[in-house]
Amino acid sequence: MPVPKRRKSRANTHARRSQWKAEPVTLVKTIENGKTVYSLPHRAKVVTDSVGTELYMEYKGRKVADA
């Protein structure tokens, strides 16, 4: 594993770390049964029954996994 030969100065360390920025979460707005729902794109969602029990996961209207 590479190891730095010399110690980095505090200014260089902070300058490097300042390039890492958080990005806002991109949400997709969909309307289901008259309700507006915001969800993450390309993620499977959990389908629940009326009581709230998790049944399965679906993606693009297809069942992809059991919950």
51 vs 17 pLDDT, higher one: 51
Total structural domains within the chain: 1
pLDDT of residue 36: 92
Question: Residue 12 pLDDT more than 80?
Answer: yes
Is 2 inside a domain boundary? no
Model-level pTM?
0.46
**Calpha distance 51→48 (Å, rounded):** 8
pLDDT of residue 64: 92
Is 19 inside a domain boundary? no
Q: In this predicted model, what pLDDT tens digit does every residue of 27-64 receive, in sequence order?
A: 989 888 898 988 888 888 889 999 989 999 998 889 99
Question: Residue 21 pLDDT more than 90?
Answer: no
The candidate with the shortest Cα–Cα distance to 45, out of 26, 24, 64, is 64
Q: Are 27 and 38 in contact (CB under 8 A)?
A: yes
* Domain coverage including residue 46: 39-67
